[in-house]
Amino acid sequence: MEITYHKLRQFWESAGETYSLWSADMHLLDFNQHYMRTFHPNLTRENVIGRHVTELSPGIEKTDRYQRYARVLLDKTPAKWQEKIPLPGKEDRHIYINIFPVDDNFGVITTDVTELVNTQKALYTIDNRYRMLYNNTPVMMHSIDRRGLITDVNDYWLDIMGYEREAVIGKGIVEFMTPESRKVAEEISLPNFFKTGITRNREYRIIKKNGEIMDILLSAVGVFDANLEIESSLAFMINITERKQFENDQKSLIRELKAKNAELERFTYSVSHDLKSPLVTIQGFLSMIKMDIEGIATAQTLDDFRRISGAAEKMGQLLDELLDLSRVSRNTFPSAKVDMNLVLSDILALLQGVIIAKNPKMIIQPNLPDVKGDPIRLREVFQNLIENALKYNIEGKEIVIKIGFQPHPDPEKAEEEIVFYVKDNGPGIEARFHKKIFELFEKLDNKQKGTGIGLALCHKIIELHGGSIWVESDGTGTGATFYFSLRKYTPS
């Protein structure tokens, strides 16, 4: 088919590039529709044809582009370049300009390549970002090829290992491992990786340039080639030396603790069996002698007997309570539901003898709330406190004991905990002893037959229940109130 002028004109008008023909003195001779759309969207053909370039694009004579046009005209040689040009109604566009002589005139074809440039830019940014990420992420990264040779490492890798890049690229990755790790890598991990394309959290030990050994966790993914064969790897290594150290420390601590516990168990066993044996002998033979000399012993002798027997009894009590104290620590934060009303009525039944003898006035608040704990241990606490209240009183004065509960004074704890109290009207406790009385073997009154373990035991039990125990007293003659807090039991 012969290309007619008409066809050619159609082609010219339909093109997505701008075509324009200019006279040697830079007047616009002809152009296509795209030229109009691009450069003069608001003008008509008649407005622009025959106009000088400086009229069409005011200020163009000051641009480089104008200079280049002039040079092409002068040299009669074509030129191509790309530049950023402001277009009417649009942001700056990247335009590819192709200018060439046509007889004495010259033609200009422009192509808008903004999209292309933007894509390129984006790719460039992505690549740059990837490089930045690769180099600056505080994780050691490397790649190896199918032979296991390092093809790339990041800066962090080099930093940590202490090598220059040149000393590493092309070396086998296994050369940086301890012999044990190397064996695992060569025999298991690497063959596996090149089959599956993935390695997850494998532990290795690698050697730095300075000889230091580092525990690391390695994960890698395969990079596939066009045939879907694994071409190389992208591997990440995390330093777990500290974690390993911590694990090892923890293991040895647990071992130590187990040994200590076993020792404590043996000690406890020994206390409950061996240390009590001599007391059995003392008491046993004392009573034998006592029977033998019944009727002939003087009051003095009988009093001496009482003293010896009392001392042995005290020793036995001390041992029992110490054992109790050592057993308490076994169970931390017990959280069974405990009915404190039941606990209290058990104690009152247990103490019935003393209560009848001392005839105190007992004021007990009904409906004590349920708590979380170990009922047997909590009974010990309540019992100790009530026994103390019965024991420490002012001669000739009616004993009044008040037992009840109230919200926790600390608003932060009031939600979770409840406070119980045992209040007496005894001699009271001076403020300077308020902390001390909860320490082991601390007794304020040597005439009393306590062991100095009771309140220490209460303290320990409440502590292990996650609560606290304290005393309030204005000092001598005003009585004392013992408080202890426990976690409320809330049915879920």
Partner 1 sequence: MTIESTPIINVLLVEDNPDHAELIRRSLRNVKTANRIFHVTDGEDAQDFLLHKNGYEDTDDFPTPHLIILDLRLPRMSGLEFLGFVKNRELLREIPVVVLSTSKSEDDIREAYQNYANSYLVKPTGFESFSGLITDMGYYWFKRNKLHLE
**Interaction between residue 103 and partner 1 (CB under 8 A):** no
How far is residue 441's CA from residue 435's CA, in Å, rounded to a whole number? 13
**Interaction between residue 261 and partner 1 (CB under 8 A):** no
Q: Which stretch binds partner 1 (CB under 8 A): 39-47, 91-99, 308-316, 380-388?
A: 308-316
Contacts 24+ apart (CB under 8 A), 146-154: 146/194, 146/230, 146/231, 146/232, 147/172, 148/172, 148/173, 148/174, 148/190, 149/173, 151/232
Q: Which of 109, 319, 355, 444 binds partner 1 (CB under 8 A)?
A: 319
**Interaction between residue 189 and partner 1 (CB under 8 A):** no
Q: Which of 279, 348, 355, 440 binds partner 1 (CB under 8 A)?
A: 279
**Interaction between residue 394 and partner 1 (CB under 8 A):** no
Q: Which of 23, 189, 219, 268 binds partner 1 (CB under 8 A)?
A: 268
Least separation in angstroms between residue 272's CB and partner 1 is 4
Phi, psi of 110 (to 5 degrees): -120, 145
| Contact (Cβ atoms closer than 8 angstroms) between residue 477 and residue 427 | yes
Q: Which stretch binds partner 1 (CB under 8 A): 141-149, 159-167, 227-235, 285-293?
A: 285-293
Task: Kindly give, in sequence order, each residue whose CB lies less than 8 Å from that of residue 247, ignoring residues fewer than 6 positions away.
Answer: none
Q: Which of 116, 132, 280, 311 binds partner 1 (CB under 8 A)?
A: 280
**Interaction between residue 139 and partner 1 (CB under 8 A):** no
**Interaction between residue 312 and partner 1 (CB under 8 A):** yes
How far is residue 247's CA from residue 251's CA, in Å, rounded to a whole number? 6
For 212-277, strand residue ranges (E) read 213-224, 230-239
Q: Which of 61, 320, 339, 370 binds partner 1 (CB under 8 A)?
A: 320
Strand partners, 83: 95
Taking the least distance from each CB to partner 1, the nearer of 224 and 285 is 285
365's enclosing H/E stretch is: none
Q: Which stretch binds partner 1 (CB under 8 A): 226-234, 277-285, 335-343, 438-446?
A: 277-285
How far is residue 467's CA from residue 455's CA, in Å, rounded to a whole number? 15
**Interaction between residue 257 and partner 1 (CB under 8 A):** no
| Contact (Cβ atoms closer than 8 angstroms) between residue 208 and residue 161 | yes
**How many binding residues for partner 1 (CB under 8 A)?**
26
Contacting residues toward partner 1, per CB under 8 A: 268-269, 272-274, 276-277, 279-281, 283-285, 287-288, 291, 309, 312-313, 315-317, 319-320, 323, 327
